[in-house]
Structure 1
Amino acid sequence: MDGKALVAAVGSGDAEAVTRLLEAGADPDTLADDGLPVLCRAVAAYDEDVADALVQGGADPDRILPDGTTPLVRAIDGGSPSVVTAVLGREPRLRLPEAERERLLTRARRWYERGAEAELRDRTGASGPVHRARVMDGEYHHVTQLTLDGSTVRAGHGAILTDLEWAFRILPPVDELASRALAQGDPDHVDWWSGQWILSRRRSKETWSAVAAYRHAPTPLPRRFALDVLWAFMWPEASWRNSYEKETEDLLVSWATEGEEDPEVLAELLRLLGDTDRPESPAIGLRYAGHRDPRVRAKVPDLLIVWGNPPPLPSAEARATLLELAADKDGNVRAAAGGALCTACDGSPEVTSAVVALLRDPVARVRAWMSEAVTRCADRSADVADALFALLDEEDFPVRLNAAYALLRREDPRTAEAVKRVGPLSRPGYEEDHRLSALWSWEWNRRNS
């Protein structure tokens, strides 16, 4: 097969076309116009999707290039953890000899310890200013991208080093990984995420205990990092033998009971506790309902609801607290309280009035949140239905969709008008949406009955 089509697909960043061409017989190691395999072009473009498609299709990440490097080495130099992960491929520990693994680790460690700017200056020989930009690396995390004299690198080598060590089954001390993760001081940075993820994969008593010890760190940042790792420890694993869910929940309960001074850390602690069904949660929620920081108060409603199917009604004290929080001065707190009231709706006039007030809240994001929460609410009162119908005047499509869906579920006589005011029922990105599907089915049945 002519390789020009593959070169063009790689150059345009079309991962789906790359996969199709490889399945049709294109050579995954096709050379581009510069004489290098197309995988190198994907690496240079920081296109992890295309790089992954090529490697999965058989491209050789260890091919020796004219300058003595390989596509994998170039990926490490480029500083993008997501690209390195794509190029690294599956089971690199089995594929690469020990000497090559050590060479890759040494290279990543040098970049990290010297710093991306120092390495970039050495390679370019330029002394001018470095242009810095914050860019996304992967779908959820960011990294600093540096450009000097036409050359570009990303400063994600802390994450790359951590990822390579894990891929090669090297287990540095927990404190070393935590130090790398915390160096940037940013929970959204790639270094933080890599350290968090790898530590959560090291399912051992020693690792769990070392992470839990950061609860007593004198500064907030390590405590926040510990919570991020512990959150991942709460994810179910294939075997109960390496599960630390109960130990983690016990730690969260004792931590919240004894107190946490930093509001951001406390809010995250309560968020994690809200994902559990611990019997201590309502009492902990009541304790923090009057906290000065709205980020903390916004996490209280989830603690006051005891989950079940259907969920039991909250206690009188919890119910009164939710009603109070539904009138909080902060919109996020009001929305969280409204969602909890909808989940455990008791049909009382007080709860109905609070739900209606929130559906008519002056803050658009509160109305949007409530429009979704009410789709799960058992309240079938006329006041709630009227408030939902009023939301059909909103410009935001998801709000109108939620309102129409909630009216349909209530068998409201205005459903036909609601469906009409939602607008076209064919929307890009909503092909699998259950709400839109329900409206479409209702409209089809009405016309064909």
Structure 2
Amino acid sequence: MKRLLREDSGPPDVGDAAFRLAVRAHSGAIAQLLLQYGADPRQSAPGSLVPLREAVDSGSPALVQALLDDRIRGRYAKSELLSMRDLARHWHETGVEAELRRRTGSGDVVTRTRVQDDEFNSVDEYALDGITVRDGHGAILTHLEELLGVRTSFEELMDRALAHADQNHTAWASATILLAHRRDQATWTAAAELRTHTDPVHRLFGAEVLRLTHLFDDSDEDAFAGPALDTFTDWSAKETDLSVLAEVLVALGEHAAPGAQAALLPYAGHHDTRVRRAVARGLSVWPSPPAFSDAVRRALRELIRDPEAGVRQDACLTIAEGKDRDPVLTDAMSALLDDEDRRVQVIVVYGLALHHDERCVEGARRLGPPQPAYPDEERYLGEAWRYEWRRDGR
């Protein structure tokens, strides 16, 4: 669908018709994608879209958000939004399986499948007696409360996220993002206090809220930068759970400070892949310094030879986009032109092109055209083509 939208040159109203079809088919992810590419929901008559109640019942946050796009939100009276909030709360508190059994009266086995709800987040989908419902009602409730101007407590938002205990679940993402955008001291303190919680899932939630609070702060003051760096540096030395440690290290990597790199380096040889990937990504400081320190160079040379393809890919990307043009690092990248993983090869070609290294041309030629399954390949391989054009004076 993304490829079709990028290549589309048809009439502008095709996207509007596709949006209506996607909503009627309960394809919230496709509806959201069409909105991103310019579909105008205002061209949809109220009767051409599913009712908001039906969308809330479906349990798909992506579908509900498509219907509540700011261009058509005025169609819904506040009383209807309040009623939909109560409906979402009922589903969330009752539980999808229990509510399905109540509505169908069926005692059959409920099937449960993890599905992608939007571009970034997933949900569980339950099916019973011909009815299919997703368990995104907690995220829908959070979204409706935000639209209605309701300030939900930190504790309640955390409970909604932890009901799924999965960072990729849309209920978790909606809670952490909303709390991070508050950027107030009370929220910061509540999240920071979770560092000492005995349950690692609580610590993971707190770490993500703190990380996103700093990440989303684009103000000149950046009031949470200093406290975040101190907090995560201390936390990384004490954390025992690997999922939480990886999140803390990712947070450290989002700080352009020498202290952050110093805290990352001891974990470059860690036994857990998630931890090593966090280090490989985190060593890419932005804005990038003219040269990496000797310790960072040594770590990157090790990470680029890692047995896990994801770690090699992240290390190559850090070298590629850094300003350090050390030929030892460039040669280390070129050694992976024949890597068994295509994604690693693509990043190597991209890095060699940025380093103005002739070997990118042959590497790109051997890889062939970008693969549709990876939309960013066109950008990465395009860097090699641009290098060739500049080289040939075109």
Same fold (TM over 0.5): yes
In the other structure, the counterpart of 2:245 is 266
User: 1:107 and 1:288, CA in 2 relative to 1: closer, same or farther beyond 3 A?
Assistant: same
In the other structure, the counterpart of 2:175 is 195
**Length, aligned pairs only:** 384
**Offset of residue 291 of structure 1:** 6.0
The 5 Å alignment of 1:135-174 reads 135-174=115-154
RMSD of the TM alignment (CA)?
A: 4.4
- Which secondary structure state, in structure 2, belongs to the residue aligned with residue 133 of structure 1? strand
User: 1:72 and 1:40, CA in 2 relative to 1: closer, same or farther beyond 3 A?
Assistant: farther
Letter of the aligned partner of 1:59 in structure 2? S
Could you list the per-position Cα deviations for residues 266-290 of structure 1 after superposition, in whole angstroms to 9, with x for gaps in the alignment?
Answer: 2221221121133433553466567
User: 1:23 and 1:173, CA in 2 relative to 1: closer, same or farther beyond 3 A?
Assistant: same
Letter of the aligned partner of 1:262 in structure 2? D
Q: Is the 8 A contact 1:55 1:86 kept in 2?
A: no
**Offset of residue 224 of structure 1:** 0.3
**Offset of residue 170 of structure 1:** 0.4
- Which secondary structure state, in structure 1, belongs to the residue aligned with residue 215 of structure 2? coil
Does 1:84 pair with 2:31? no
Between the aligned partners of 1:194 and 1:25, the Cα distance in structure 2 is 27
Does 1:433 pair with 2:366? no
In the other structure, the counterpart of 1:379 is 326
In the other structure, the counterpart of 2:289 is 310
Between the aligned partners of 1:47 and 1:296, the Cα distance in structure 2 is 33
Between the aligned partners of 1:326 and 1:236, the Cα distance in structure 2 is 28
In the other structure, the counterpart of 1:175 is 155
Q: Is the 8 A contact 1:92 1:168 kept in 2?
A: no
Between the aligned partners of 1:176 and 1:262, the Cα distance in structure 2 is 24
Between the aligned partners of 2:175 and 2:143, the Cα distance in structure 1 is 8
User: 1:74 and 1:437, CA in 2 relative to 1: closer, same or farther beyond 3 A?
Assistant: same
Does 1:56 pair with 2:41? yes
Larger Rg: 1
Between the aligned partners of 2:346 and 2:63, the Cα distance in structure 1 is 38
**Identity percentage over the alignment?**
33
Could you list the per-position Cα deviations for residues 75-99 of structure 1 after superposition, in whole angstroms to 9, with x for gaps in the alignment?
Answer: 0011001111111222888664443
User: 1:393 and 1:64, CA in 2 relative to 1: closer, same or farther beyond 3 A?
Assistant: closer
Between the aligned partners of 2:229 and 2:290, the Cα distance in structure 1 is 21
* Residue 442 of structure 1, aligned match among 381, 384, 388: 388
- Which secondary structure state, in structure 1, belongs to the residue aligned with residue 127 of structure 2? strand
User: 1:93 and 1:200, CA in 2 relative to 1: closer, same or farther beyond 3 A?
Assistant: farther
In the other structure, the counterpart of 1:276 is 255
Does 1:422 pair with 2:358? no
The 5 Å alignment of 1:359-398 reads 368=313, 372=317, 375=320, 378-380=325-327, 385=331, 391-394=336-339, 396-398=341-343
Between the aligned partners of 1:367 and 1:288, the Cα distance in structure 2 is 15
Q: Is the 8 A contact 1:93 1:168 kept in 2?
A: no
Higher relative contact order, chain-length normalized (CA < 8 Å, sep 6+): 2
Q: Is the 8 A contact 1:43 1:75 kept in 2?
A: no
* Residue 46 of structure 1, aligned match among 20, 23, 27: 27
Deviates further, 173-182 or 240-249: 240-249
Q: Is the 8 A contact 1:181 1:192 kept in 2?
A: yes
Does 1:125 pair with 2:105? yes
**Offset of residue 197 of structure 1:** 1.3
Q: Is the 8 A contact 1:306 1:312 kept in 2?
A: no
Between the aligned partners of 1:440 and 1:367, the Cα distance in structure 2 is 24
**Offset of residue 135 of structure 1:** 0.7
Letter of the aligned partner of 2:246 in structure 1? A
Q: Is the 8 A contact 2:108 2:128 kept in 1?
A: yes
Letter of the aligned partner of 1:379 in structure 2? D
In the other structure, the counterpart of 2:191 is 211
Letter of the aligned partner of 1:193 in structure 2? A
- Which secondary structure state, in structure 1, belongs to the residue aligned with residue 211 of structure 2? helix
Letter of the aligned partner of 1:45 in structure 2? H
- Which secondary structure state, in structure 2, belongs to the residue aligned with residue 280 of structure 1? helix
**Offset of residue 246 of structure 1:** 3.3
* Residue 89 of structure 2, aligned match among 109, 113, 116: 109
Q: Is the 8 A contact 1:91 1:167 kept in 2?
A: no
In the other structure, the counterpart of 1:225 is 205
Q: Is the 8 A contact 2:283 2:318 kept in 1?
A: no
In the other structure, the counterpart of 1:234 is 214
Q: Is the 8 A contact 1:425 1:440 kept in 2?
A: no
Deviates further, 51-60 or 247-256: 51-60
Structure 1 unmatched runs, 5+: 1-13, 31-37, 328-333, 339-357
TM (norm. structure 1) is 0.69
Structure 2 unmatched runs, 5+: none
**Offset of residue 295 of structure 1:** 4.3
**Offset of residue 406 of structure 1:** 5.6
**Offset of residue 199 of structure 1:** 1.1
